[in-house]
């Protein structure tokens, strides 16, 4: 069995999770501070990929990144790089689709953050950078962790936009989800089943790990409250 789709899916999900983690937290941090109207508008725009069909996202991405489209043509001309139909093209799709999950959960965590903690730290002479990394992030850790997990899971399961922007080339752009579709299409039910089981196994392990983390968190909290 060729394990390339597993490797490719994992690396795409991992890279896009790192990107989404940073972008989502950055957006959540600054948008939470904006006035109501701007916040409402940006919120809609940034959450849209969550509710749009992935094919619509894929089409829009192709409009931007395709070799004959403005950005795609410019990159091709300036650097000689084609932005679509490579293994890393899928990262564009997974980042856009997974971003709202990270952004929304992180924003929820930041909004429930008690700002007197930040204010207290300021009066004690601590910089805003210090406050962000040493107080706000640790206090909001659970929400941020939840957002990261959701983003990774979503990136791993992405099919629609990925298939449009990266296509399906065995050994090059194939991911688990596009492989399953391809095997089913070619009547290879046994092959499809193998990949379905692999996917279910990864997802189950993943969710198990999350539950474990959460219960450990709760335990340490309970221990804290008891003593």
Partner 1 sequence: MSLTVRIRKQLGAFQLQADFTAENEALALLGASGCGKSVTLRCIAGILRPDEGVIQLDGQTLYDSAAHIDLPPQKRQVGYLFQQYALFPNMTVRQNIAVAVRDKSRREAVTREKLRQFRLEEVAGQKPRQLSGGQQQRAALARILASSPRAILLDEPFSALDSYLKYQLELELQDTLAQFPGTVLWVTHDRGEAWRSCRRVCVMDRGVTEPVMTMDELFRQPGTQSAARLSGCKNYVPVLPAGQSVDVPAWGITLNCGREVPAGTQVIGIRSHHIHPAEAGETNAFSCAVERVIDDVFGMIVLLRSQSAAPDAPLLRMELPKETWAAQPDQTRVTVAATPEDILLLK
Nearer to partner 1, 122 or 169 (CB): 122
Q: Which residue in the set 2, 119, 189, 217 belongs to the binding site for partner 1 (CB under 8 A)?
A: 119
Burial class (CB in 10 A: 0-12, 13-18, 19+), 225: exposed
Given a contact cutoff of 8 angstroms between Cβ atoms, the answer to whether 174 and 10 are in contact is no
CB of 139 to partner 1, least distance (A): 6
Q: Is 44 or 124 the residue whose CB approaches partner 1 more closely?
A: 124
For 113, the 3-state DSSP assignment is: coil
**Which position among 126, 194, 206, 210 is part of the footprint of partner 1 (CB under 8 A)?**
126
Q: What's the CA gap between 194 and 16, in Å, rounded? A: 25
Stretch that binds partner 1, among 38-46, 117-125, 153-161, 194-202 (CB under 8 A): 117-125
In whole angstroms, how close is the CB of 143 to partner 1 at the nearest point?
14
Candidates 121, 153, 161, 192; binder of partner 1 (CB under 8 A) is 121
CB closer to partner 1, 91 vs 121: 121
Q: For residues 134-163, which are near partner 1 according to CB under 8 A?
A: 134-135, 138-139, 141
Q: Which residues of 166-201 are buried (b: 16+ CB within 10 A; e: fewer)?
A: bbbeeeebbbbbbbbbbbeeeeeeebbeebeebbee
For residue 139, CA distances in Å to 20, 120, 122 come to 20, 14, 16
Residue 187 — φ and ψ, nearest 5°?
Answer: 60, 20
By CB under 8 A, residue 227 contacts partner 1 = yes
* Nearest in space to 178 (alpha carbons), one of 198, 200, 162, 191: 162
Binds partner 1 (CB under 8 A): choice among 123, 129, 187, 190 = 123
Sorted by sequence, the CB contacts under 8 Å of residue 164 that are 6+ apart come out as: 55, 58, 59, 61, 62, 93
By C-alpha distance, which of 26, 42, 24 is closest to 34?
42
Q: Does 116 bind partner 1 (CB under 8 A)?
A: yes
Q: Which one of the spans 85-93, 111-119, 142-150, 191-199 is the region binding partner 1 (CB under 8 A)?
A: 111-119
Q: How far is the CB of 135 from partner 1 (least distance, A)?
A: 5
Tokens found for residue 51 = 């509710």
114 near partner 1 (CB under 8 A): yes
- Judged by CB, which is closer to partner 1: 75, or 135? 135
Which residues contact partner 1 by CB under 8 A? Answer: 114, 116-117, 119-127, 134-135, 138-139, 141, 224-225, 227
């Amino acid at each position: 069995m060729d394990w390339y789709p597993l490797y490719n899916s994992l690396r795409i999900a991992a890279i896009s999770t790192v990107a989404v983690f940073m972008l989502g937290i950055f957006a959540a941090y600054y948008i939470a501070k904006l006035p109501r109207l701007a916040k409402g508008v940006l919120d809609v725009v940034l959450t849209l990929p969550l509710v749009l069909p992935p094919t619509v996202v894929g089409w829009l991405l192709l409009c931007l990144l395709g070799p004959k489209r403005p950005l795609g043509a410019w990159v091709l001309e300036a650097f000689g790089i084609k932005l679509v139909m490579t293994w890393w093209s899928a990262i564009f799709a997974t980042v856009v689709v997974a971003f709202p999950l990270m952004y929304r959960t992180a924003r929820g965590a930041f909004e429930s953050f008690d700002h007197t903690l930040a204010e207290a730290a300021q009066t004690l002479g601590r910089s805003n950078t210090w406050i962000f990394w040493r107080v706000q992030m640790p206090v909001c850790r659970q929400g941020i962790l939840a957002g990261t997990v959701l983003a990774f899971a979503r990136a791993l399961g992405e099919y629609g936009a990925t298939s449009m922007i990266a296509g399906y080339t065995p050994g090059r752009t194939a991911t688990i989800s596009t492989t399953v579709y391809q095997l089913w299409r070619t009547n290879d039910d046994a092959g499809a089943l193998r990949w379905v089981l692999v996917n279910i196994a990864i997802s189950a392990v993943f969710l198990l790990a999350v539950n474990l983390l959460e219960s450990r968190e709760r335990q340490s909290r309970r221990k804290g409250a008891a003593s």
